[in-house]
Amino acid sequence: MHKTTARSPVNSQPQQATVVSASGVAGDDREFLFTDQDFERIRKLIYERAGISLSPIKRDMVYSRVARRLRATGLRSFTAYLSLLEQGDPVEMEAFTNSLTTNLTSFFREEHHFPMLKEHLRPRMKKGAVTIWCSASSTGEEPYSIAMTVAELYGGIPNNVKILASDLDTNVLDKARQGVYPLDRVSKIPEDMLRKYFMRGSGAQDGFVRVRPELQAMLSFRQINLLDTSWPMRGPFDAIFCRNVMIYFDKPTQHGILEKFVPLLTEDGVLFAGHSESFHHAADLFKLRNKTVYELAEPAKKRAHRSEGR
């Protein structure tokens, strides 16, 4: 992961500034001046970089998160910081993007999906390699939940199932690779599974668990931006998890991402979506199979079959 080099401020004690509110009226005192123009520049930058559409109600959240980057870089105004980003500083652009991505996750979140994954994979158990892509893996709880589900289905750690775990945020990917979690994060995992798939810490690591290496070996981690014009893998995948991500994109962006999923799925592959996500606007690509589980629509299925290459 890149580290941001701090830039020396002109004055080590930034002055308090009056914030211009969303309505354009001067508001409460804050550390940095934050104008409507600043907010619009941030909205444009994060949309172009990550496809995230920030609504006006996110203004206070944006100030809070991006202000941390001003402190880290030693810059004293949003104007100066945004100019740095617009000049193309790649290290700071990564840190800026990480600051605005949301990483709410937990083990076996939306638990109804995991029995569905088992049933989807059961006919494939004797058919050779199985590949799964978790496209928003955050700090790792979701891809490790997928791995545990697969291991339970196979009765052990299979050597023919591979899981690609990706995210845009490099900070959370580092945590996912480490596979270390406080006990309260794994409290909902059944005790027998906890013993099978995690090691309890002791001494300085007391109160933590670590994913067992044999389970972790099923996963590979990679930074992938869903907004990139091309992705560094060819597939095909038997299942793609893209849960609670599309809600941050507008409909055209969603459709563009879904269109790129099509040639990466096997003809009978499935897409797992989040509980508040619906793809009715992409009926040419996907159709609902079960609760927030989609399969390829007929025209897209033909396209996926031709590009499958198996």
Residues labelled as active-site residues = 65, 167
Contacts of residue 77, Cβ cutoff 8 Å, sequence gap at least 6: 32, 33, 70
271 Cα distance to chain centroid? 15
Query: Are the CB atoms for 81 and 75 separated by under 8 Å?
Result: yes
Query: Are the CB atoms for 120 and 186 separated by under 8 Å?
Result: no
Query: Are the CB atoms for 121 and 162 separated by under 8 Å?
Result: no
Going through the chain in order, the beta strands assigned E by DSSP cover: 17-20, 26-30, 130-134, 161-167, 180-182, 198-200, 208-211, 219-223, 237-242, 265-273, 286-290, 293-296
Show the tokens assigned to 219: 């996963």
Strands 26-30 and 130-134: unpaired
95 Cα distance to chain centroid? 15
* Three-class SS state of 231: coil
Torsion of CA 73, 74, 78, 80, to 10 degrees: -90
